[in-house]
Amino acid sequence: MNSHLKVLKSEVNTQRLPRDFLTLSDFSSSDIMNLLTEALAIKDMQKKGIPHPFLKGKVLGMIFEKSSTRTRVSFEVGMLQLGGHAIFLSSKDIQLGRGETVADTAKVLSRYVDGIMVRTYGHDQLEEFAENATIPVINGLTDLHHPTQVLADLLTILEHKGELKGLKMCYIGDGNNNMTHSLMEGASKVGMHVSVACPKGYEPNSLITAKATEVANLSGCTITVTHDPFDAIQDADVVVTDVWASMGMEEEAERRLKDFVPYQVNSELCQHAKSDFIFLHCLPAHRGEEVTADILDGPHSVVFDEAENRLHAQKAILKALLGNG
């Protein structure tokens, strides 16, 4: 048996997951551990060449308002390997892009497919879609949350560190972005300490921070937000960053480049992390901006393992939501 599966066996239960996968705050610690256990099992089957058509005949509709490499390919390949099929739906090619309401689109697609993945801008639009759909809805990314990426991040950390509880994760960069929010939510659920370092004016959403901190306190871990990257990264087991200007922020890019210069992840900063730290980045990365090439391509980096794990983590989500429980 996979050694990580042995670690997780005692931490999971068989309770039913929520219908939708919108944010990690909707899921309990056991929910997340169940998904990680499933992801490890499915990954093991794939590596051994064992077919796993758990979703034979199932169809996933995928609505993209934001472009993507990893999200699109991993969901399409994941559905194919699970025995199902995925349909790419650009917002420019469906009636949603010509004025049909979100509610009407959700109601119609619910009668055609077995689940819907949405990658969009406003999280409120995703919530409206889920409220009107009668089938599972998965958040492929919004401006506020990126839960599928963070589930893959937790899977990667577990594989490389052998555990999650008690580890320290340090996020450096833009605090008010989807990765920061989902990292705080997911890490606090599994008992990881989180420190966020960001410039003034770029702090994480206060409501999300408060809720994640409450969960962290119950889990026996901590969440801290500071403007000092050297303080935040001290003794970190995991170091994470993201681009300084996400999609839709092109007009702010020049100002952000100046504001974030002190928050670059480089060798000088990483000397303050633990000697065996691992580095994560959801990609795409801008070498020489948020991270230097020697860190991104160096021995501490696990970014391509992390990218691969999008496939395995999402297959676990798809099986749980579109399967038979």
Sign of CA dihedral 157, 161, 163, 164: negative
| 282 has binding-site annotation | yes
Q: Which of 4, 119, 193, 312 is catalytic?
A: 119
| 149 has binding-site annotation | yes
The verdict on whether 146 is a catalytic residue reads: yes
| 70 has binding-site annotation | yes
Q: Which of 4, 123, 256, 310 is catalytic?
A: 310
Q: Which of 143, 237, 242, 264 is catalytic?
A: 242
| 148 has binding-site annotation | yes
| 283 has binding-site annotation | yes
Burial class, 121, CB count within 10 angstroms (exposed 0-12 / middle 13-18 / buried 19+): middle
The verdict on whether 242 is a catalytic residue reads: yes
Q: Which of 149, 193, 198, 237 is catalytic?
A: 149
| 68 has binding-site annotation | yes
Tokens 């000697």, located at residue:
275
The verdict on whether 282 is a catalytic residue reads: yes
| 262 has binding-site annotation | no
Q: Which of 282, 300, 312, 314 is catalytic?
A: 282
Strands 137-141 vs 115-119: parallel, antiparallel or unpaired: parallel
The verdict on whether 93 is a catalytic residue reads: no
| 292 has binding-site annotation | no
| 178 has binding-site annotation | yes
Q: How far lies 276's CA from each of 117, 159, 221, 302, in Å? A: 36, 14, 21, 12
Say if CB 260 and CB 242 are below 8 A apart: no
Which of 100, 115, 113 lies closest to 22 in space, CA to CA?
115
Residue 296 parent element (H or E): helix 293-296
Q: Which residues are annotated binding-site positions?
A: 68-71, 95, 119, 146-149, 178, 242, 246-247, 282-283, 310
Q: Which residues are annotated binding-site positions for L-ornithine?
A: 178, 242, 246-247
Q: Residues with catalytic annotation?
A: 119, 146, 149, 242, 282, 310
Q: Which residues are annotated binding-site positions for carbamoyl phosphate?
A: 68-71, 95, 119, 146-149, 282-283, 310
